[in-house]
A and B are shown apart, each in its own frame.
Chain A
Amino acid sequence: MAASDTHRAIETVFRIERVRLVGGLARMMRDVDLAEELAQDALLAALCEWPRAGVPHNPGAWLMATAKRRAIDRLRRTAMLTRKHAEIGRDLAEDGADPVAALEAALDDDVGDEVLSLIFTACHPVLSPDARAALTLRLIGGLTTEEIARAFLSSETTIAQRIVRAKKTLREAGLSYEVPRGRERAERLASVLEVIYLIFNEGYAVTAGADLTRPALCMEAQRLGRILAGLMPEEPEVFGLLALMELQASRLAARLGPDGMLLPLTEQNRARWDQLLIRRGLAALARAEALSGARGPYALQAALAACHARARRAEETDWARIAALYGVLREVMPSPVVDLNRAIAHSMAFGPEAGLALLAAIDADALRNYAPLPAARGDFLFRSGRLAEAKRAFEEAAALTRNERERAFLLKRAAACGG
């Protein structure tokens, strides 16, 4: 193998081991920045050693042992954290003659914890949601600053500063870098799930000029969801979120028309939906429900996505079930947008009058200037044969939307009302 191939292979092994490595080191040093630096040092050491000595049997343990040795050297040199130094020194001394073998065993024990604690740290509520997302992509996803900047349509400087500031905030907060337990765990987990879904939606949002980086964010979020599901197999909402992401991602290839415009679910070519992701999504949803998580906000949204995924043709969609699910969702996660979607589902299941009745009860103030509200009203009125009122509603919606194509569509519908 040529030297460059060897280096590439080593870098790939490092990529696989990096999260575990940084997680373990962050916990030891209580500093993610330093942890990343030490991990990088370990990679450089591997690039020197492995081409000569061969890739070790357990590369993760080798990298960790190397990084820890360097960490101790550093602690010794600075001599600032004497207590921590003593602890680590004792740990290593007790491991006996072969610290690598001992670490190998230790590493196997808490692999999950090292990764989990890093995820929880990157998503810590002391950080802003944007900072959490950037740091999670950097630390867990292993994305470069440049990749993150491109994904968030932001400048590299902005993202770099965001990450530096986030690391500083974490350092100053004096965190324990442990996986939270008890009541704190639920709160912190909610923040983790929020960050992952934010990353997913950032990738799912349609932008002009199909930049491939953005679907990559969807993949990254799904991978994070799968990692989390592997590490927290008893948390229903983890599976709820994974189900939601996989079911939504199953439509990634089908959701755009040839003109690059977003197609509504009813108009998508369902043959292009990814059946493997649908099956995985349905399985994850079943798991969430089996863990008594059917009323979790993510599980409920996944259940809604599942209603569409199960229908082979748009006409087969179970709108009555969708209407019922929105009824539960509005109790769990009250929002006027949920109410609007519920009204649309009722109109599909029970007729336009049912939709109109629910619209009347929606908090219209909260949805002022929200084009989908008059657009839905226009649709219900049109289907009820109240054409003059429908026309006014469509025109109102057209005046509100900022999207050119949507405006053209709404004006076309207004024109179809005659008058």
Chain B
Amino acid sequence: MRVMVMVKATKDSEAGAIPSAELLEAMGKYNEELISAGVLLTGDGLKPSSAGKRVAFDGPNRSIIDGPFAETRELVAGFWLWEVKDMDEAVAWVKRCPNPMPGPSEIEIRPVVDATDFGEELAPEFGERLDRLRERLPER
């Protein structure tokens, strides 16, 4: 299964604090471990929310909200996408991560929705679309 692993923001990360050399080294080593175990698909760190923007939707309207955003603990400071066997394995790997922040911090793991999670819901529409596609294609 694929999981998204999110490093939650803290006051430090939102202030744009540069991680210490030790942390960078430990993180580099940890990332190498993830690669060697075939777990890591992709990942990156994010700039503080002061560099971000939000687009709010309300019916046909779109409005732009500039960062920074208030609810620090709910913000994401970095992410990985992993391929693991199950949530237990994801938890075990996260526990090995060096604390990504100088103070207390949190990492959240969320399974990525799989095509099979849609189940029957997706199939009828998908089937119809294919039939239409087939009609358009020359016989081969």
Contact = CB atoms under 8 A, between A and B. Distances in A.
Contacts of B130: 257-258, 263, 267, 269
A112 interface: yes
Contact of B41 (A280, A412, A416): A280
A258 B38 contact: no
Interface in B88-111: 88-89, 91-93
Nearest to A258: B127
Given A257-B127, A257-B130, A230 B36 contact: yes
Given A12-B91, A253-B115, A280-B42, A269 B133 contact: yes
Interface string A98-137: 0000000000000110010000000000000000000000
Q: How large is the interface on B (under 10, 10 to 19, 20 to 34, 35 or more residues)?
A: 20 to 34
A12 B133 contact: no
Contacts of A267: 130, 133-134, 137
B140 interface: yes
A223 B83 contact: yes
A47 to B, nearest CB: 15
Contacts of B134: 267
A9 interface: yes
B58 to A, nearest CB: 27
Contact of B88 (A12, A219, A280, A314): A12
Contact of B92 (A12, A253, A257, A264): A12
A168 interface: no
Contact of B36 (A115, A264, A412, A416): A115
Contacts of B124: 258
B22 interface: no
B9 to A, nearest CB: 24
Given A112-B36, A230-B38, A231-B36, A269 B129 contact: yes
B113 to A, nearest CB: 12
B123 interface: yes
Contacts of A269: 126, 129-130, 133
Contacts of B24: none
A280 B133 CA distance: 28
Given A8-B88, A253-B115, A266 B137 contact: yes
B121 interface: no
A412 to B, nearest CB: 8
Contacts of A74: none
A413 interface: yes
Interface residues of A, number: 35
A57 to B, nearest CB: 10
Contacts of A264: 140
Nearest to B35: A230
A9 to B, nearest CB: 7
A15 interface: yes
Given A258-B127, A280-B42, A9 B88 contact: yes
A405 B34 CA distance: 44
Interface in A222-271: 222-227, 230-231, 253, 257-258, 263-264, 266-267, 269
A276 B42 contact: yes
A413 B140 CA distance: 8
Contacts of A413: 139
A112 B37 CA distance: 10
Given A112-B36, A226-B38, A416-B139, A272 B115 contact: yes
Contact of B140 (A223, A263, A266): A266
A8 B95 CA distance: 14
Contact of B37 (A212, A227, A314, A416): A227
Contacts of B36: 111-112, 115, 227, 230-231
Given A9-B92, A257-B130, A379 B83 contact: no
B5 interface: no
Interface in A272-327: 272, 276, 280, 314
B127 A16 contact: no
Contacts of A416: 139
Interface string A1-35: 00000001100110110000000000000000000
Given A230-B38, A272-B115, A276-B81, A13 B92 contact: yes
B89 A16 contact: yes
Contacts of B89: 12, 15-16
B126 A258 contact: yes
Contacts of A13: 92
Given A16-B92, A272-B115, A223 B38 contact: yes
Q: Nearest 4 A-B pairs (CB), nearest first?
A: A258-B127, A226-B38, A223-B38, A253-B115
10 contacts: A9-B88, A9-B91, A12-B92, A15-B92, A226-B35, A231-B36, A258-B124, A269-B129, A269-B130, A379-B140
Interface of B: 32, 35-42, 81, 83, 85, 88-89, 91-93, 115-116, 123-124, 126-127, 129-130, 133-134, 137, 139-140
